[in-house]
Amino acid sequence: RHHVLSLADFTAAEYNTVLQTAASFQEVLSRRTKKVPTLQGQVVANLFFESSTRTRSSFELAAKRLSADTLNFAAATSSMTKGETILDTAKTYLAMGTDIMVVRHREAGVPNAIAAEMDRLGVKVSVLNAGDGQHEHPSQALLDLFTICTLIDPASPRLELLKGKKIAIVGDILHSRVARSNIWSLIASGAEVHLAAPPTLLPKLFAEYILEEAGVKNQNFIISSSPTPHSPLPTPQLFLHWQLEPALQNADFVMTLRLQKERMTAHLLPSLREYHQLFGITSTKLQLCKPNVKVLHPGPVNRGVEISSELMDDPEFSLIQSQVTSGVAVRMALLYLIGSSKV
């Protein structure tokens, strides 16, 4: 694999390679020196056309821990303000000797367009999607996977550990690239994935589209709004709910999603207060889940909206800080595997 643009076509072997490589880099990061010379001489350019805190910083730190040289681009302070195009910007970084481009953009498909241009030019530059519009956020889903798998088996994180686990993804599914990438990885693991959102954030048409896409890989899914979904299929894997409770019932993990106000065109429905009341995750609602349930959130968080402030900071349940920590090792793994063309 030359580029990582989507998890839709990732194989189980590829997921496990990323997980095992990230585990070995986690060990490197626990050492005093924290660095390896693996990508010495290579240039990693972070091309962020949309704002970011954790993805940009952890890709930068990951590249530095691998001894690569890093270039950081932010659209607002770049020559794009003078009219330079996205592809001309990418070619400018190519001309400086960039080996890996990490690309974020608010429109879906921009990383793919840059990758296509690099391929057309016949250059050996890899493109990593760091989040494109409502499409995908592969490195986030991989770090979520790594966070969960290392919790179950720190010595040997692997995809199979999630087989049969119930995982609820709650919130703004419609606008979430994180949800889409997580759906691919969790279905590949054999987990039971429950999406829960109000109808405005999981419209029926969009739900059918997700199911159709998922159906290409796996026929076992069901739409349900009842507390006890019934499926004619033997092992349903993807459930959709317009209520929170059936998704939380006996869940092993709950992934909460940020309400992406910047991507909403209509007046927000439900309101933030209504959303928190109906779908916000709190300690009380968590009692529906398994006793040792853990809660994830990709960040940034709207405190007190998708998750209560108190639960967000509770180390017994919240994996939010672990997710950020995992991000460095997982992104080291991606840069290393792409840099040495092993994924």
Binding residues: 54-55, 82, 104, 137, 140, 177, 258, 299-300
The minimum distance between CB 61 and ligand CP, in angstroms, equals 13
Give the whole-angstrom CA distance, residue 145 versus residue 163.
12
Q: What angle do CA 133, 55, 295 make, to 5 degrees?
A: 90
The minimum distance between CB 281 and ligand CP, in angstroms, equals 17
**46 scored as a contact of ligand CP (CB under 6 A):** no
State the amino acid at position 272 in one-letter form.
L
Q: Which of 41, 97, 227, 300 binds ligand CP (CB under 6 A)?
A: 300
> Per CB under 6 A, which region of 77-85, 150-158, 263-271, 298-306 contacts ligand CP?
298-306
Q: Which of 21, 55, 189, 237 binds ligand CP (CB under 6 A)?
A: 55
Give the whole-angstrom CA distance, residue 292 versus residue 16.
25
**263 scored as a contact of ligand CP (CB under 6 A):** no
**299 scored as a contact of ligand CP (CB under 6 A):** yes
State the residue number with the nearest CB to ligand CP.
Answer: 55
Q: Which is nearer to ligand CP, 236 or 298 (CB)?
A: 298
In terms of C-beta density within 10 A (0-12 exposed, 13-18 middle, 19 or more buried), how is residue 333 classed?
Answer: buried
The minimum distance between CB 71 and ligand CP, in angstroms, equals 18
Spell out the residues 6+ positions from residue 82 whose beta carbon is closer than 8 angstroms to its own.
none
Q: Which of 11, 24, 40, 53 binds ligand CP (CB under 6 A)?
A: 53
Q: Which is nearer to ligand CP, 109 or 270 (CB)?
A: 109
* Residue 323: closest CA among 54, 60, 134, 130: 54
Give the whole-angstrom CA distance, residue 199 versus residue 208.
13
The minimum distance between CB 167 and ligand CP, in angstroms, equals 18
Q: Which of residues 113-142 bind ligand CP (CB under 6 A)?
A: 131, 140
Q: Are 229 and 239 a contacting pair, CB within 8 Å?
A: yes
Q: Which of 298, 302, 333, 335 binds ligand CP (CB under 6 A)?
A: 298
Q: What radius of gyration, in Å, describes the C-alpha atoms of the chain? A: 20
The minimum distance between CB 58 and ligand CP, in angstroms, equals 8
Q: Which is nearer to ligand CP, 70 or 237 (CB)?
A: 70
The minimum distance between CB 132 and ligand CP, in angstroms, equals 11
In terms of C-beta density within 10 A (0-12 exposed, 13-18 middle, 19 or more buried), how is residue 82 classed?
Answer: exposed
> Per CB under 6 A, which region of 28-36, 196-204, 294-302, 308-316 contacts ligand CP?
294-302
Q: Which is nearer to ligand CP, 104 or 194 (CB)?
A: 104
Give the whole-angstrom CA distance, residue 216 versus residue 22.
29
Q: Where are the beta strands (DSSP E) in the chain?
A: 43-48, 69-74, 100-105, 126-132, 166-170, 192-196, 221-223, 238-241, 253-256, 294-296
Binding region for ligand CP (CB under 6 A): 52-55, 131, 140, 298-300
